[in-house]
Structure 1
Amino acid sequence: MHLPIARLALALACARATVPPSPASPIEATGSPECGTGRAAEGSLLALQPDWATPLWHTAVAYRGGTCAPSGCKWADVCIPSWAERPRPAGPFLSAMDTVGYMPHDVGKVATVLSAEPCGEEWELRRHADGSLVARGVTEAPREPPDDGSTHPFERVGACFVDFSNVTAAGLYDLQTRGGNSTGIVVDANVYRAPLKQALAAFYMARCGQRTEPLSDPDLVTASLRGISVRPFAHDECHMEDGFVDERHTGEEGLERHRDGTGGFHDAGDYGKYTVNTAMAVGVLLHAWQHHAPALKCLELDGLPRAHPVMPYVLEEARYGLDWMLKMQKRDGRVYHKLTPSRFVGRGTLPDADRAKRFFAPWGTAATADLVAVAALGARMYAPFDPAYADALMDAALRSYAVLAAHPTEVIPDLSAFSTGDYVGQFNGNPNHDRGVRIWALSELYESTGNATFLDELEAHLSFFDTPTAQCAGNRDPLSMCKVADLVEWNQQRDMGIVPYLLSARSPDLRNASLVAEVGEQLRLVVDKWARTASYDPFGRHMGDFTKFGVSVWGINGEAARHALLFETARRALGVDHTRVSAATLHHLLGRNEERRSWVLKLGFNPPENPHHRPSFVFKDTWPGLLVGGPFPEWRDEWRSFASNEVAINWQAALVYALSALAPASCTSEAGPRKGREGRGNSYDA
């Protein structure tokens, strides 16, 4: 199990043997070369097979004879230059809680104890090191929710609460209850630093069109130790023939021809690349930077080759997706919908071994509007670091907007030649998807240019959604006609447009004041209902049992994490602070749930072992830092369960946003995250 740490105590070691280290003693360098300086004997195979009950956070870098960089080494000849021994046991967690840990002043340090017994039994929190008593109390029963529709429905279970929020001293603790002990509870100001880095590293590992180098950051899980040798989580150059245009797949006359579509991210469990979903991922990453720059400004991954070191790492990763989207844009501004094989392939191969021919799908207005949105947003975010690139993004956004203006009704791409993911809102329960994407595109265009034409068109689209505000607290119908939806997904993007609309910093302010007030009130109703639900739900879920009593959402975990963006928008625009609820959602994803497990691969206690993710399937070991989709409506730890156990870049970006909202400042000279209604600027909050 791979549990993140509060503090790392690095011990440089490596061994020539495959004998697992004794959990009772520190790892010793048995006849080892000088691993700390990167020296290894020529031809030696150096590997350690750990005892999986031993709580070790590991990194691995390949070396072959003498000193060499990871990129110049063969993976077969491996030395493990650094082990980080974590001062904590590997569970078990018999209570449902955040198994990664808590910030010292988090007022939501709550564990859910599943029990058929009445609440009121004693609990004790003790220091792990010496067993000394830190806090004690009695378990509390969940409050009875009102029967007035003011909360979302959830299933009642036999559960009691343990609230140890008054424990603020950093340390390692054990919780003792009648139902059993939960050991290794971390309280530390930096508890989310390593998980945030791991979540971002997952994007690098998902890059297409290049070799991804083995990472060497001691905060990260960088290699698999399953089997007899160390195997870095990396792949060679892949999909360099992307892609092809023809009449059957692309709907363009003439002979089959090649068009450069290299780059971008492998979308999910498969290796396809989809414009609509890439836009969602890139947009949320850019908002993470805009809203939580202190946590991301100095965050770097050791061992990562940087193409654009002038900008923060999160912006370089987002740019990798943006650059690919620009390749999906035709000269006239139309944007191809996706680039995939005709059908899903490659289940048993790494991306560099996938030889399937991949084709561009026809253009559509949704993909075109998505490019407008992220390019216009990117123009603001990249301007301080690369003005020429920002200008190129703005040019691309305006060119594609001209296409939207010429096609005021939705153009749905013909995907009949494909059986890969469609990412078409009309096919997924939302006939107003195209209008929602246009709202996002126009909102970003207005904020970047101040052009009143974009604002007028944006507000006309918003006015189309005419459900009275009083009915918009929690309408889970995909056909909802509220201006603010309580779902934010690739097929429900209008809330992505609400964010810049409500946080606009344009001067003079040309927005319709009554419309701004109406949109703001609908957002307040949505987040307030989420907050009330979280206060009653036995696992602190702000959506309740959404997949059981609402509309089944594929990727409910990503949806929940993405709501951190709306909570933050409400805080900044309306002064409605539900930071505790946003934190509770992260606690839920990291262990305070019915399964009592982290939903993030190799983070926290008992994460999934069999995700629908091709590289993990090949390795027979999960690639780290990836958020799985979650119950749909049930969850199974099986690779075939793509409906509940797949990964996807839009969910991953949501995890990055949620973690960055709570992570401490990454620059040692900066203060922690700021509070209040600041941060409505055009670029970012640094």
Structure 2
Amino acid sequence: MRLPALSRKARMAAIAAIVAVPAVALPIAFAGNDGGIPGLPGTGANDGSAYAFPATPDSIPDTPVRVNQVGYLPDGPKRATVISDSSQPLPWQLKDNSGKVVASGESQPHGMDASSGQNTHVVDFSEYRGSGNTYTLEVDGKASLPFDLDPKAYKQLSVDSLSFFYTQRSGIAIDNKIAPGYGRKAGHTADTPNGGDTKVPCAPGSCNYTLDVTGGWYDAGDHGKYVVNGGISVAQLLSTYERAPKASQDRELRLPERGGKTPDVLDEARWELDFLMKMQVPDGEKLAGMAHHKIHDVAWTGLPMDPAADPQQRQLRPPSTAATLNLAAAAAQGARVFADYDKGYSAKLLASAKKAYEAAKANPSITAPDSDSTGGGAYGDWNVADEFYWAAAELYLTTGDKQYSADVTGSPLHKADVFDRAFDWQNTAALGRLDLATVDSKLADRDRVRESVQAAADRYLKVIADQAYGQPYAPNGGYDWGSNAQILNNLAVVATAFDITGKQQYRDGVLSGMDYLLGRNALNQSYVTGYGEKASKNQHSRWYAHQLDPNLPNPPRGTLAGGPNSQLQDEVASAALKDCKPQLCYMDDIKSWSTNELTINWNSALAYVSSFVADNS
């Protein structure tokens, strides 16, 4: 669930509604290991073992030496950040798992880091090209947490971050044999307490029909399903395939569809694409072809809450131009990538995309209000120029039709800097720009488009070089909600520059940014469940609620936490972290939904970038 970033009044009203909900604990039937954190044996990527990460203690001894706790590529950059009051270089030693010193040198003083309030040094041990497990870096006598030097360091993360989406599925029972410890009954089907999503009515006074909107992914820690957030999420899964089809074909995920002719990542994307098309207003109705903005409960539920036990009535919220264009863009891209695997499905997607695009052009200003936040996130979006640009780009790249190329080049965004901030569900022009730069087409100014991506990537590389912790993110005024995903989406731009140019500096920049997310940060915190000695594991979720009920699991391995958020909208974080420096505005607590939620669009960003690194290791 994502509250809008730009309207504080509406956001506060939504927060008050959430806080007022009692934490009603209803039975949740998770299978395996008594419903707790799975601890199954095995090492294969698809035997369930990837879900089986060891339980970590609640407290890990801190260290001033901050490293990527998962590992570094032997041929990649290897940097650490050290917190020290010293203004002089500090001696460092890299030790292998036997304690042998394999490299040494001195740190580079970096000075005060504004995002953390810490005085820092940087250690660069990139010249060491050895490989192995359980290295430590000692700086001035203080040791880091252990890490590996492994060319396959990101292979499993690329699988886990994508397999996350299976356990987020709505309308299907999660098979415990596929996801050990996470098996559960189907949520929001006809036999559930609220009648599920099979015949969902509209908000009072907005329509006189019902829709079957079963399927899709639960958006975040709630039970809502939102077209605007589903759009960017499924687009990033489609792009994960489209940028590297062969690697995607070889990447086996934990899915019931596994083993078919279609690559697993496209099987997962299809689950969401089917839902998005179901949200389209039927022919013959007012606003036919438009897409309903979202579907969720009429009132907030508490934690924990099994999707199959949700008692609240479901409701379709009115159509919006933003949602309709998300459908158009995602379905058009889906039509392109499914053409080689299922021509009938590809044609269905393209027809839906074209219908949605024409409906949006006929209704260009139907906005979703910030105030619609009872029972689900608002996802307000009142500027849809970016969605029009994105949808036109995808339709042009799929069809080659001149009408769509004219809409692309005629958009005021086509020659604008669409990378002036991190792209997200509310700012989608960059999605169109990245695909225009990488998907073959006859676009007249394609070279200029590609140059704009490279220029943006160069800016991000400069930010990375300037930051003590190497992240491509230095906003004015604090970190935003979902800062980790903003970092990842900036890294996606850098990754695309590598795909365009093949220049190693861009791959190295992506690796540096991943170091931040996996432990090289002000909190010594890996923000990905199951990855690193000190990893997030209590993300805000109604069904991955182990912190509240030991019979329930934590989120599955490969789940990203939203990360530091200077606004601290929830009561737990605002009480504990008042006046925090931006990087320190995070806590791994299930009730801190403003810093520690999980969402599909954050994990899609993680999946895209980790797959890029795995493919280029």
Say yes or no: does 1:372 pair with 2:328: yes
Shift of 1:355: 2.6
Aligned to 1:202: 164
Q: Per-residue displacement from partner, 1:305-364 (whole Å, max 9, x unpaired)?
A: 217711111111111111111111123311111110112214222212223211111111
Q: Per-residue displacement from partner, 1:644-683 (whole Å, max 9, x unpaired)?
A: 111100000000011001114xxxxxxx56xxxxxxxxxx
Query: In the superposition, relative to structure 1, how do residues 421 and 83 fare at CA in structure 2: closer, same or farther (>3 Å)?
Result: closer
Shift of 1:246: 4.0
Aligned to 2:241: 289
Query: In the superposition, relative to structure 1, how do residues 83 and 417 fare at CA in structure 2: closer, same or farther (>3 Å)?
Result: closer
Letter in 2 for 1:374: A
Distance 1:630 1:46 in 2: 29
The aligned runs of 1:109-258 (5 Å cut-off) are 109-128=78-97, 130-142=98-110, 154=115, 157-172=118-133, 173-178=135-140, 180-215=142-177, 232-240=181-189, 241-246=196-201, 248-249=203-204, 251-253=206-208, 258=210
Distance 1:610 1:379 in 2: 37
User: What TM-score does the superposition give when structure 2 sets the normalisation length?
Assistant: 0.81
Query: In the superposition, relative to structure 1, how do residues 650 and 414 fare at CA in structure 2: closer, same or farther (>3 Å)?
Result: closer
Say yes or no: does 1:490 pair with 2:425: yes
Distance 1:416 1:171 in 2: 52
Query: In the superposition, relative to structure 1, how do residues 443 and 159 fare at CA in structure 2: closer, same or farther (>3 Å)?
Result: same
Look up the SS of the partner of 1:200 in the other structure: helix
Native 8 Å contact 1:249 1:418 kept in 2: no
Look up the SS of the partner of 1:561 in the other structure: helix
Query: In the superposition, relative to structure 1, how do residues 83 and 283 fare at CA in structure 2: closer, same or farther (>3 Å)?
Result: closer
Say yes or no: does 1:317 pair with 2:250: no
Native 8 Å contact 2:111 2:121 kept in 1: no
Distance 1:85 1:642 in 2: 24
Worse-superposed segment, 196-205 or 443-452: 196-205
Distance 2:313 2:90 in 1: 62
User: What TM-score does the superposition give when structure 1 sets the normalisation length?
Assistant: 0.73
Native 8 Å contact 2:393 2:405 kept in 1: yes
Query: In the superposition, relative to structure 1, how do residues 102 and 81 fare at CA in structure 2: closer, same or farther (>3 Å)?
Result: closer
Q: Per-residue displacement from partner, 1:355-390 (whole Å, max 9, x unpaired)?
A: 321111111111110011011101111111111111
Q: Per-residue displacement from partner, 1:1-42 (whole Å, max 9, x unpaired)?
A: xxxxxxxxxxxxxxxxxxxxxxxxxxxxxxxxxxxxxxxxxx
Q: Per-residue displacement from partner, 1:216-260 (whole Å, max 9, x unpaired)?
A: 6xxxxx65xxxxxxxx1232111002055546447114xxx6421
Native 8 Å contact 2:339 2:346 kept in 1: yes
Native 8 Å contact 2:332 2:398 kept in 1: yes
Distance 1:188 1:380 in 2: 35
Distance 2:267 2:32 in 1: 34
Aligned to 2:498: 571
Native 8 Å contact 1:292 1:660 kept in 2: no
Say yes or no: does 1:539 pair with 2:469: yes
Aligned to 1:608: 536
Native 8 Å contact 1:97 1:592 kept in 2: yes
Look up the SS of the partner of 1:263 in the other structure: coil
Letter in 1 for 2:273: L
Shift of 1:572: 3.7
Aligned to 1:503: 438
Letter in 1 for 2:435: P
Native 8 Å contact 1:92 1:182 kept in 2: no
Say yes or no: does 1:529 pair with 2:465: no
Distance 2:519 2:32 in 1: 35
Q: Per-residue displacement from partner, 1:399-449 (whole Å, max 9, x unpaired)?
A: 1112022224344479758442111223xxxxx3x1101110000000111
Shift of 1:501: 2.1
Query: In the superposition, relative to structure 1, how do residues 562 and 417 fare at CA in structure 2: closer, same or farther (>3 Å)?
Result: closer
Aligned to 2:251: 299
Distance 1:450 1:169 in 2: 48
Query: In the superposition, relative to structure 1, how do residues 192 and 301 fare at CA in structure 2: closer, same or farther (>3 Å)?
Result: same
Letter in 2 for 1:238: G
Worse-superposed segment, 118-127 or 262-271: 118-127
Aligned to 2:223: 271
Shift of 1:263: 0.4
Shift of 1:83: 8.3
Distance 1:572 1:305 in 2: 32
Q: Per-residue displacement from partner, 1:447-490 (whole Å, max 9, x unpaired)?
A: 11111111111222235876xxxxxxxxxxxxxxx444322011
Aligned length: 543
Distance 1:574 1:565 in 2: 14
Which protein shows a greater Rg? 1
Distance 2:506 2:389 in 1: 26
Distance 2:205 2:175 in 1: 33
Letter in 1 for 2:89: G
Aligned to 1:329: 280
Letter in 2 for 1:162: V
Which runs of 5 or more residues in structure 2 are unaligned? 1-30, 190-195, 283-287, 567-584
Letter in 1 for 2:472: H
Q: Which residue of 440, 451, 471 corresponds with 2:390?
A: 440
Letter in 1 for 2:485: G
Query: In the superposition, relative to structure 1, how do residues 233 and 46 fare at CA in structure 2: closer, same or farther (>3 Å)?
Result: closer
Which runs of 5 or more residues in structure 1 are unaligned? 1-44, 62-69, 72-79, 146-152, 217-221, 224-231, 427-431, 467-481, 665-671, 674-686
Query: In the superposition, relative to structure 1, how do residues 420 and 92 fare at CA in structure 2: closer, same or farther (>3 Å)?
Result: same
Q: Per-residue displacement from partner, 1:67-93 (whole Å, max 9, x unpaired)?
A: xxx99xxxxxxxx9998999xxx9867
Say yes or no: does 1:622 pair with 2:584: no
Native 8 Å contact 1:282 1:374 kept in 2: yes
Distance 2:498 2:226 in 1: 32
Native 8 Å contact 1:555 1:630 kept in 2: yes
Shift of 1:143: 7.9
Query: In the superposition, relative to structure 1, how do residues 247 and 440 fare at CA in structure 2: closer, same or farther (>3 Å)?
Result: closer
Worse-superposed segment, 406-415 or 453-462: 406-415
Worse-superposed segment, 171-180 or 443-452: 171-180
Aligned to 2:318: 362
Q: Per-residue displacement from partner, 1:515-534 (whole Å, max 9, x unpaired)?
A: x62x5554444322211121
Look up the SS of the partner of 2:292 in the other structure: coil
Aligned to 1:561: 488
Query: In the superposition, relative to structure 1, how do residues 263 and 81 fare at CA in structure 2: closer, same or farther (>3 Å)?
Result: closer
Native 8 Å contact 2:526 2:534 kept in 1: yes
Q: Which residue of 589, 592, 599 corresponds with 1:648?
A: 599
